[in-house]
Amino acid sequence: MTERKLKFGFHDFINAQPLLIPLVEKEQQLGVTLVTGSPASLAEQLREGELDLAMIPSIEYLKDSEQYRLLPGIAVASRGPVGTVLLASRLPLAEVQSIALDVRSRTSAALLQVLFGKVFPPKVSLEPVDPDPKKMLKDHDAALIIGDPAFRLRFDFPDLQIYDLSEQWFEQTGKTFVHAVVAVRHEIELDQEFLMTVQEAKMEGLSRLEGIAQTASKQSRIAFETCHDYLSTKIIYDLGKEEIMGLQHFRDVCFEKGLIAQKEVIRFVQF
- Tell whether 72 and 188 lie within a shared domain: yes
- Does 124 reside within a domain? yes
Residue 1 forms part of a structural domain: no
Q: Residue 251: what pLDDT?
A: 97
Q: In terms of domains, do 186 and 120 share one?
A: no
Q: Specify the 3-state DSSP secondary structure of 122.
A: coil
61 with 105, same domain?
no
Residue ending a domain, choose from 173, 197, 215: 173
Count of structural domains, the chain: 2
Answer whether 95's CB lies under 8 Å from 145's CB. no
- Residue 264 inside a domain? The answer is no
Distance of CA 19 to the CA centre of its chain: 13
How far apart, in whole angstroms, are the C-alpha atoms of residue 148 and residue 165? Answer: 15
**Based on the domain organization, do 73 and 182 belong to the same domain?**
yes
Task: Answer yes or no: do 115 and 150 share one domain.
Answer: yes
End position of a domain, from candidates 116, 140, 173:
173
Determine the residue type at 121. Answer: P
**Does a structural domain hold residue 265?**
no
The upper half-sphere exposure of residue 209, i.e. CA atoms within 13 Å in the direction of its Cβ, equals 18
Is 181 found in the same domain as 65?
A: yes
- The pLDDT score that the predictor gives to residue 147 is 86
Tens-binned pLDDT, residue by residue, of the chain (271 aa): 445 689 999 988 899 999 999 999 999 999 999 999 988 899 999 999 999 999 999 999 999 999 999 999 999 999 999 999 999 999 999 999 999 999 887 888 999 999 999 999 988 999 999 989 999 999 999 999 998 889 989 888 999 999 999 999 999 999 999 999 999 999 999 999 999 999 999 999 999 999 999 999 998 889 999 999 999 999 999 999 999 999 999 999 999 999 999 999 999 998 7
Please answer whether residues 34 and 232 qualify as being in contact, where contact means their C-beta atoms are separated by less than 8 angstroms: no
CA 168 to chain centre: 16
pLDDT in the model for residue 3: 58
For residue 1, what pLDDT is reported?
43
Are residues 235 and 111 part of one domain? no
Query: What is the predicted pLDDT for the residue at 24?
Result: 94
Residue 155 lies in a domain: yes
Comparing C-alpha atoms, which of 66, 68, 79, 62 is closest to residue 9? 68
Q: From edge to edge, which strands make up the β-sheet containing 161-164? A: 125-129, 98-102, 142-146, 85-89, 161-164
| Domain assignment of residue 158, given as a range | 85-173
Boundary residue ending a domain (173, 189, 216): 173
Residues 181 and 69 occupy one common structural domain:
yes
158 assigned to some structural domain? yes
The answer to whether the CB of 177 falls within 8 A of the CB of 234 is no
Distance of alpha carbon 176 from alpha carbon 166, whole angstroms:
8
User: Is position 268 within any domain?
Assistant: no
Which domain CATH number covers 154?
A: 3.40.190.10
* CA 148 to mean position of chain CA atoms: 12
Q: Are residues 16 and 96 in the same domain?
A: no
pLDDT of residue 107: 87
215 and 165 share one domain = no
Considering the domain architecture, whether residues 184 and 165 belong to the same structural domain is answered as: no
Say if 99 falls within a structural domain: yes
The answer to whether residues 23 and 71 belong to one domain is yes
Cα gap 210→91, rounded to integer Å: 39
The residue count for the chain: 271
